Structure 1
Amino acid sequence: MGGENKGAAKPQAVSSLCLVFSVFLFSFPNSALAGNSSFSPPINYLIDCGSTNQTVLQDGRIFKSDHDSTSLLSTNEEVQASVDSVNLNVSSSLPPSSLPLYRTARIFSEKSTYTFHIPKTGPLWVRLYFFPLPHASYDLKSAVFSVQTDRIVLLHDFSVRNDSTLLFKEYLVNVSDSRFSLKFMPNENSFAFINAIEVVSAPDTLISDSATTVSTHGEFKGLSHYAFQISYRLNVGGPQIPPNEDTSSRNWEPDNPYNIFPDGTGDASVPAKSIKYPETGATPLIAPSSVYATAAQLKDAQVSEHNFNLSWRMNVESNYSYLIRMHFCDIVSKSLNQLYFNVYINEMEGVSDLDLSSETKALSTAFYKDFVLDASAITKGYITVQVGVDNLLQGTKNAILNGVEVMKMSNVANSLDGLFTVDGKYMGPSSITNVLKIVAAVGLGLAATAMLFIAMICIRWRKRPQGSDKGNNISSWLLPLSSAKCKSNLSSYKSSKSSGSRRSSKFGSRKSKNAISGYFTTNGIGRFFPFSELQQATKNFDENAVIGVGGFGKVYLGTLEDGTKVAIKRGNPSSEQGINEFTTELDMLSKLRHRHLVSLIGFCDEDPEMVLVYEYMANGPFRSHLYGSNLPHLSWKQRLEICIGAARGLHYLHTGAAQSIIHRDVKTTNILLDENFVAKVSDFGLSKAVEKAYVSTAVKGSFGYLDPEYYRSQQLTEKSDVYSFGVVLFEVLCARPVICPKLPREEVNLADWVMHQHQRGMLHTMIDPRIIDTINSESLKKYVEAAEKCLHDHGVDRPSIGDVLWNLEYALQLQESASQIHAPEDKSANCIDFRNPDDRKEDHSIASTSDGADLTDVTLFSQIANFQGR
């Protein structure tokens, strides 16, 4: 152990200290730059703090001891710490070659400064190494201190509590003076320490002054005025790249720990010597060729449809903006203009239809792009970068990424750690302002409560019994309202449900439940069912009565006391999704009544049970009659009528209610058929009421049906439902799943493939062969025209659902007219036309098995069989 060395170095004039040791500046070789003579750092300080000798790392870099260079350090008191026997083989993403730097440390009990002479101004790498070594007199794990330059706060109230991990901090700062200082400032009654320091020149071209702003796609200017802390530097698809293999002694981590979907990711690699750099743009100083020589790509056709993205998630500190650099190099294509893909950051589109060939004019050529992500776009404490296939019909369905760098940007206080400036000034919200806001809020709350109380008294006084003012006791009209009249309990009902927390009973006694039942019946939600009645209706929720399972819970076929069949959806108490959907369904269906919407009969809420009761749709989901079951197929006319019914339901949602309601999960499993094959839209658990043209929201929906514009922008509009309905129309025409991984790669996604075939004039090859000969050509033309318009990439180019409805009705008229004129042979003899009263008598054959048993395994809601995912 090194002993104390009090007073070893007294404060001296900074200028003389720096000039005397200008020779010290150039005494450190940087083997990391071997083979790259284009850049030799004019500033290259490598210091092993607390060491008595120089330290030579495995990568060839030489760290000098600050013991022999005390003129760099201004302090009144310092202590050395060293260790030989402690095992430093601890968890870290750093290369093992850096371990020797953590075996010694310099400890400061007062403010101390390292000052470096800067012969050439510009960007500098500042790298700090921390590990709390054991010491006889100091517990380094209890040290609390700050580290700052002359104008940038690097660390504020910093401590290293964990002695099982090596800590490495890396910064990029711009220096415009001839001297650069690193100040270590212990908190009161504490101390500071440092194991090693690097202050090394960075290339002037490393960070340009502008980047693309993710949220607005505008240009962000002035990056040169910011300092950066490197949060992540990933070599995607490849191994770790140690400092000696990088052009600026940088360490590149493998991407594996951050890959969200490793099973869908495939690696690609080429020899590093085959990588080329363009005349302008990327250079070896931006990233070494070994970064561009490896990449991640989509693994196979199973995941190459447009809803799957390669994704990486990295935890970051909120309240900061971040510079995100993404590296690309097309090492997977065989020729130019084969690869087109999209880039997303935090589910916002960064680049659409990126064509590396147009950027680099050659394969295996390096390219990078910078993005700025504003602090307001980081709401969950992480950054997600994604690449995914585009929606163009040209090129291969693939996407790649070679490398990612994430850099925290300094804030309004010129700080990378907190809101205090180097002068100690706090730049955050004023505490006085916060107190005033709290006082104002409390005052308004008390005032509102008082006004409400006074209003209640006035109401009760007006409704007081005759002669009550003559009595001596006024409690009869001041008592709280009875539970039968207390609707205030109901106002908090939906908010408490949506919280996702563990619920207590909202309804108390049976008398209160009956009162609430009456309230909900009066207000259109329906009947309140005691849980015991639902148990009886389902024979105590017999598993044989299950007709579906989903995120909300199980769906049962039940029979009420009067013989009415109902669909009973019983929530899973542990499902937060279920709680949200429960309240959303209640809220939506209380406002909606339409022939083509599934009706909510009632509900039950007896802690912890949440149950929704719907009308029973005897013929189940539309999809079951298209493919995947043994049910008789539907004729073309029936399919048109069902699509028209669904369109009418969606049209009512978009235009018939007080607020426009967007369904968000339109698909054939959410179009249910009653005993007469009348179509009704169901499942409003993801629905959203909007008051303006669009609403920004987290993306929800089902693979294959999801609007790509909504996915990219997170801006939900009615046209998102129109896109999904367009997919439904082609699904109805072709009678195949919208996503089928077993098919060849280009055929996996129905919407993409049918549009491709239509453009080639080959649409007839995809039509359900059971009905192709019965479809009138003009009816088909009008139908396909409507479906095609729904699938436009941009919502503004899509028709309204009302326009789609008009075209479908016209297609039906054309079909009926052709049938009356030509009376062709009916090749759908087994189909039942639900418009024919005689055919209705045979409806039960569709809802039963060959032996007459009830077909209870027919799926009823979107969460059930054939679920495509949300």
Structure 2
Amino acid sequence: MEKNPRGPPTKPPLSRSSPMAILLVLFSLLIATPTAPVLVAAASSSAVFFTPQDNFLIGCGSGKAVTHLDGRVFITDQNSGKYFSSNGRDVMVSVPSANVPSPIYLSARIFIEEATFKLPMTRPGWHWIRLHFFPLSNNEFDLQNAKFTVTTDTLVLLREFSIKDNNNTNGWFFNEFLVNVTTERLSIKFSPVKGGPAFINAIEVVSAPDILITDTGSTLFPVGQFNGLSTQSYQTMYRLNVGGPELTSQNDTLGRTWALDGQYQAHKELGKNVSVAPTVIKYPEGGSPLIAPQSVYASAVEMGSANVASPNFNVTWNLDIDLAYQYLIRLHFCDIISKSLNDLYFNVYINGKTAISGIDLSTLTGGLATAFYKDFVVNSSMVSSPLSIQIGPWTQGTGAINALLNGLEVLKMNNSVGSLDGEFSVDGKSANGVNKGTVAAVGFAMMFGAFVGLGAVAVKWQKRPQGWEKRNSFSSWLLPLHAGDSSFMNSKNSLGSRKSQFFSSTTGLGRYFSFAELTDATKNWDANAVIGVGGFGNVYYGELDDGTKVAVKRGNPQSEQGINEFQTEIQMLSKLRHRHLVSLIGYCDENTEMILVYEFMSNGPLRDHLYGKDLTPLSWKQRLEICIGAARGLHYLHTGAAQGIIHRDVKTTNILLDELFIAKMADFGLSKDAPTSEQNHVSTAVKGSFGYLDPEYFRKQQLTDKSDVYSFGVVLLEVLCARPALNPALPREQVNLAEWAMQWKRKGLLEKIIDPLLAGAINPESMKKFAEAAEKCLADYGVDRPTMGDVLWNLEYALQLQEASLQGKVEDEKKASDPIVSPASVVPVAASTPDNRPISSPEQVRNPAEVPVIHEHSGTEMFAQYATLSGR
């Protein structure tokens, strides 16, 4: 369990409510019945009054009603007998006084066996469940060491909870949960552990407004959207009034407590507290004080003035969390420090990853001193403890070099079995579906089975036949490749039974090489001949007897990844042939060797020509032609085969260039067959390369051909900006190329970050069309991305604009040097409309001669003909 979100108890400040508000509070208390008190918040004159339809406030163990310091009345559980039942003995205890923040902690009910509170619900929806604990001194029971579990019908709230185990220095403790109740009755069960007691001092079950949690939030990596927040349950781990005083239930519209943030700041001297009068805080249209009161937005921590000159300076809060869960992080902002609009831009980081880059609150809210909040879901696989929240300056803009944060909430989300504490569900099942009572038995059975299996392996090893090494070729690891393909799978034509130099043409694997041939070709697998490395093993440069240059991929039989990738590579390449796909020449299947032989691409991967190598830079026209070639290869994969294929690892290292700089897609080890017409995606584990991963695929684990389109969009930006997709050495806001470049694109300043070697050499219209293609590829949702055919059209169009620009320059130079040339002899620029206006969209093109005709065939028609665009 984490630290108490309330922090040390402090005496709550006196309310500054108006006389009318005080009268309303007193009146509400007079008319409230003992079983249905009304919660009224009067923190300020502009407070919002929220009346919960379900409002159970129960003081346990007390013989009379108890009034909380905020004025709410907790009825005694003696009067709530219709809601309470126990399977055994229960005891009521109380003390006259103690160092506690409220009289609700001065009494408790102790359970020896299971006990349940069953509360009827008036309305489904969000409900607070607050459990208050204080281990009263008692001669019969040791409540300090009491350990017990608290559950609802479907949710584990606390598992084997103990005040002592929580390192609580206050003595008292409360847990707050937010649960979406959908049943007519809510049960809260207390179950003692190991024969000890369970106890509770007070219980709150109170309706919360629907707007408190919406259904969607943002994810960090990849940047995207998390859906389904309304189906989760939450435990409040931290709720901090950043830069301001502690706010208790007296000061909050929903009875919440906002703790001081100072104890969580990494270096308090690096930040500075600022505040304004709460009455100046406004809420935008659709906003509400129910999200957070004005007092939260009226204070903040900004950057310390002594440190703002450093672009790498950040104010940091560190929060201890349980790494087994994912968390909803709510950040509250309100610009209370700027004097004018659009003067404050800053960054926000969560666990070192950019959450918000260059946020301008005045643009988002339409004014200053206006409340704004943002929700993020941090996936459990990316959580680290302590959780760090940082704010820092955005160095790319103008205006004040500053940053601020007003409030912070961290809510733990339930795990897959409906637990907020521990790995087991209410019915004892773990996250993997195994019942708690069977875990030990299963573990013993697995251990016994392992010993038996090892014994059988040892016996079989002793009885292995002679010549087993030759029989154990890698083909036995790879088959079956095409289930149901009789021509490929019959025993007479298996990979392990061939004797001829050339394999059957039906497999598409080409020539069979002996291991000796490839050993000679690679000069005995010379380490200096290694031109690539992967999970499968190494790729070597080789030269055959006839002088043919080849790339030899030698697999590692010990690598499970390598085996799987080899199998996939063979499956794909046996049915693929295209000018813009790297060709498979042959293979070797000898003993344990797994070797594939490809055509050698002498100019290597595209990335080497963009950055990191001292190679002659590519011109913009060359880059366009390379992108067009890669797009043709991907378009063929998606549409040219009988069933489409998704590459799943599109990146600049998998786009290879031959001696003429013709681009070819390579490395199909992660490829998957595309979904059939009856499906819209393939459900599969996420694989690929960081920086290129489709955020929707990462989030849903649903693969489509649009995942390749997203990755290709990142490739286009690499080509334009000549930098890696991810570069952790750069400032945080620049680490991810796709995020960074799209920020500049939206500002209309993309030309500021392109490869300096291209400056002045790109036709503006060509770059604009290219950038538009990249932006469309990088849409958050696959349905909004273009097909590779559409991407190809736009790239061809960008090339046409570039060539037309170059042709125009040549004509202008010719005219300047030859004044006798008549205007009638000048050839019109192709990239224009009939009235000579520049083409800015494909809809303007009406002359078929203006668009290149593309004919590429490989047994089937690869591309739609682009000669006529009138039907587009």
Q: Give TM class, smaller chain.
A: 0.5 to 0.7
The answer to whether structure 1 residue 77 and structure 2 residue 86 are counterparts is: no
Q: Percent identity?
A: 38
Deviation at 1:757, TM superposition (A): 7.7
**Equivalent position to 2:553, from 568, 588, 607:** 568
Distance 2:741 2:655 in 1: 23
Distance 1:407 1:331 in 2: 29
**Equivalent position to 2:199, from 171, 191, 194:** 194
Deviation at 1:653, TM superposition (A): 1.1
The answer to whether structure 1 residue 588 and structure 2 residue 588 are counterparts is: no
The residue type paired with residue 568 of structure 1 is K
- Per-residue CA deviation, residues 544-582 of structure 1 (Å, 9 max, x unaligned), is 4444456x26644254785854243656967x8767655
**Equivalent position to 2:788, from 801, 805, 827:** 801
Q: Cα 1:598–1:163, aligned 2, differ >3 Å: closer, same or farther?
A: farther
Distance 1:622 1:294 in 2: 48
User: Contact 1:670 / 1:681 at 8 angstroms: preserved in 2?
Assistant: yes
User: Residue 165 of structure 2 corresponds to which residue in structure 1?
Assistant: 164
User: Residue 671 of structure 1 corresponds to which residue in structure 2?
Assistant: 655
> What TM-score comes out, normalization by structure 1 length?
0.53
Distance 2:330 2:214 in 1: 9
User: Residue 292 of structure 2 corresponds to which residue in structure 1?
Assistant: 287
Q: For 1:711-730, what aligned pairs fall within 5 Å after superposition?
A: 717-722=704-709, 724-725=711-712, 728-729=715-716
User: Contact 1:621 / 1:672 at 8 angstroms: preserved in 2?
Assistant: yes
Q: Cα 1:284–1:578, aligned 2, differ >3 Å: closer, same or farther?
A: farther
**Equivalent position to 1:661, from 634, 642, 645:** 645
Q: Cα 1:410–1:801, aligned 2, differ >3 Å: closer, same or farther?
A: closer
Structure 2 residue matching 1:514: 3-state secondary structure: coil
Structure 2 residue matching 1:680: 3-state secondary structure: strand
Q: Cα 1:547–1:327, aligned 2, differ >3 Å: closer, same or farther?
A: same
User: Contact 1:664 / 1:700 at 8 angstroms: preserved in 2?
Assistant: yes
Distance 1:286 1:524 in 2: 63
Deviation at 1:801, TM superposition (A): 3.2
Distance 2:239 2:755 in 1: 47
User: Residue 514 of structure 1 corresponds to which residue in structure 2?
Assistant: 496
Distance 2:259 2:517 in 1: 60
The residue type paired with residue 566 of structure 1 is A
User: Contact 2:127 / 2:208 at 8 angstroms: preserved in 1?
Assistant: no
Q: For 1:540-559, what aligned pairs fall within 5 Å after superposition?
A: 544-549=528-533, 552=535, 555-559=538-542
User: Residue 133 of structure 2 corresponds to which residue in structure 1?
Assistant: 129
User: Contact 2:691 / 2:736 at 8 angstroms: preserved in 1?
Assistant: no
Q: For 1:462-481, what aligned pairs fall within 5 Å after superposition?
A: none
Distance 1:558 1:208 in 2: 62
User: Contact 2:475 / 2:495 at 8 angstroms: preserved in 1?
Assistant: no
Deviation at 1:325, TM superposition (A): 6.6
Deviation at 1:314, TM superposition (A): 7.8
User: Contact 2:536 / 2:563 at 8 angstroms: preserved in 1?
Assistant: no
Distance 1:613 1:129 in 2: 70
Any gaps of 5 or more consecutive residues in structure 2?
A: 1-30, 219-223, 436-469, 484-492, 814-872
Structure 1 residue matching 2:634: 3-state secondary structure: helix
User: Residue 448 of structure 2 corresponds to which residue in structure 1?
Assistant: none
**Equivalent position to 1:631, from 615, 625, 638:** 615
User: Residue 369 of structure 2 corresponds to which residue in structure 1?
Assistant: 364
- The worse-fitting range, judged by mean Cα deviation, of 132-141 and 787-796 is 132-141
Distance 1:300 1:590 in 2: 60
User: Residue 108 of structure 1 corresponds to which residue in structure 2?
Assistant: 111
CA RMSD of aligned residues (A): 7.7
Distance 1:786 1:627 in 2: 20
User: Contact 1:185 / 1:192 at 8 angstroms: preserved in 2?
Assistant: no
- Per-residue CA deviation, residues 677-725 of structure 1 (Å, 9 max, x unaligned), is 3321123344443225555777766676666777788765545544554
Any gaps of 5 or more consecutive residues in structure 1?
A: 1-21, 84-95, 305-309, 432-481, 496-510, 826-870
> What TM-score comes out, normalization by structure 2 length?
0.53
Q: Cα 1:237–1:799, aligned 2, differ >3 Å: closer, same or farther?
A: same
- Per-residue CA deviation, residues 566-619 of structure 1 (Å, 9 max, x unaligned), is 243656967x87676555444433432323212355477998x98766443222
User: Contact 1:113 / 1:182 at 8 angstroms: preserved in 2?
Assistant: yes
Structure 1 residue matching 2:235: 3-state secondary structure: strand
Distance 1:694 1:123 in 2: 37
User: Residue 666 of structure 2 corresponds to which residue in structure 1?
Assistant: 682
Q: Cα 1:800–1:415, aligned 2, differ >3 Å: closer, same or farther?
A: closer
Deviation at 1:365, TM superposition (A): 2.6
Deviation at 1:193, TM superposition (A): 1.0
- Per-residue CA deviation, residues 33-58 of structure 1 (Å, 9 max, x unaligned), is 9889967999896858699xx999xx
Distance 2:247 2:499 in 1: 68
- Per-residue CA deviation, residues 158-202 of structure 1 (Å, 9 max, x unaligned), is 6448963368543468999xxx998766589956511532438x5
- Per-residue CA deviation, residues 437-477 of structure 1 (Å, 9 max, x unaligned), is xxxxxxxxxxxxxxxxxxxxxxxxxxxxxxxxxxxxxxxxx
- Per-residue CA deviation, residues 128-178 of structure 1 (Å, 9 max, x unaligned), is 439899998899989777666xxx6776996448963368543468999xx
Q: For 1:158-557, what aligned pairs fall within 5 Å after superposition?
A: 159-160=160-161, 164-165=165-166, 169-171=175-177, 192-199=197-204, 206-208=209-211, 211-212=214-215, 230=235, 232-235=237-240, 247=252, 250=256, 270-271=274-275, 273=277, 276-278=281-283, 286-288=291-293, 291-292=296-297, 293-294=299-300, 327-330=332-335, 335-336=340-341, 357=362, 360-368=365-373, 402-404=407-409, 406=411, 514-515=496-497, 523-524=507-508, 544-549=528-533, 552=535, 555-557=538-540
User: Contact 2:108 / 2:200 at 8 angstroms: preserved in 1?
Assistant: yes
Deviation at 1:672, TM superposition (A): 0.9
User: Contact 1:25 / 1:44 at 8 angstroms: preserved in 2?
Assistant: no
- Per-residue CA deviation, residues 353-396 of structure 1 (Å, 9 max, x unaligned), is 9986577443333345789x9xxx9998999999999xxx9999
Distance 2:134 2:521 in 1: 67
Q: For 1:138-149, what aligned pairs fall within 5 Å after superposition?
A: none
Deviation at 1:628, TM superposition (A): 3.4
Distance 2:329 2:319 in 1: 13
- The worse-fitting range, judged by mean Cα deviation, of 589-598 and 552-561 is 552-561
Structure 2 residue matching 1:557: 3-state secondary structure: strand
Q: Cα 1:212–1:762, aligned 2, differ >3 Å: closer, same or farther?
A: closer
Distance 1:162 1:605 in 2: 66
Q: Cα 1:596–1:245, aligned 2, differ >3 Å: closer, same or farther?
A: farther
Distance 2:232 2:711 in 1: 45
Q: Cα 1:97–1:570, aligned 2, differ >3 Å: closer, same or farther?
A: farther
**Equivalent position to 1:642, from 604, 626, 633:** 626
User: Contact 2:418 / 2:425 at 8 angstroms: preserved in 1?
Assistant: yes
Structure 2 residue matching 1:646: 3-state secondary structure: helix
Q: Cα 1:47–1:756, aligned 2, differ >3 Å: closer, same or farther?
A: closer
